[in-house]
Amino acid sequence: MVTLKFTFTGNGSLGPYNLVFNLGNGSIARTVNGPVYTETFGPFSANGSIKIEQFQDLSITSGCELIVDADSTYQIDIKPIPLANFTVSDNQVCQGDVVTFTPSVQNPTSKYFWDFGDGGIGFNMIENHPFGIPGNFQVRLQVTDKFGCESVSSPFTIQVQERPVARF
C-alpha cells in the first residue's frame, strides 16, 4: 500500500484555487484560499494509477517530487515497493567462513546494498561475504528499483563462532 502527500503552492496570490483529484474511485474537489495547502491521500494499492486534474503549481511527493504546470492533467502510476527479503547459505558459521546472500526477488535493473553488520558492505545482487571475527552480526539488504522506490529488509542474524584449534 502507498500513501501520497500532495502539497499545493499558489503562484503568489492567496487564491482561490480549484483543485480536483481524480483518484480512480471518484473525484475530490477542493477550493484552496491561501498560499499553501497539503493533503494526504491513500493508501493506494501498488500497480494502480491515479489521475490529477485542474491545479496550479502542485508539488507531488512520494519518494520523489514533481512540479506540474497549471491547468494540466497528470496520471501518476503507483509502482510496487521492491521486496528486500533474502536467503542465506548458512546462519551459523565459523570464523573465516563465507556466507552467500541471495535476494528473494532478483531484478537486474534494481540496485542492491548489503550491510553485513561487521563493517563490511556489498553492492552485488548476490554476495559472498566472509566473516573474519566471531560474534552475532545483523545483516540488512536495501533494494532500490529503477523508479527510485526502495525498501530495507528486517535484520537477519548471522552467528559466527571462533574457529576451533586442533592441538596434539
> Tens digits of per-residue pLDDT, 41-99?
665 555 555 555 544 444 444 444 444 444 455 556 666 778 899 999 999 999 999 99
What's the rounded Cα separation, in Å, for the pair 161 and 159? 6
Q: How far is CA 120 from the centre of its chain?
A: 22
Burial of 1 (0-12, 13-18, 19+ CB in 10 A): exposed
Which pTM was predicted? 0.63
Q: Which amino acid is at 91?
A: N
Q: Are β-strands 98-103 and 86-88 bridged in parallel, bridged antiparallel, or unpaired?
A: antiparallel
At residue 136 the predicted structure's pLDDT band, cuts being 50, 70 and 90, is: very high
What's the rounded Cα separation, in Å, for the pair 81 and 42? 15
Question: Residues 6 or more apart from 167 whose CB is under 8 A from it?
Answer: none
Does a cis peptide bond (omega within 30 degrees of 0) precede residue 43?
A: yes
pLDDT at 146 (0 to 100)? 87
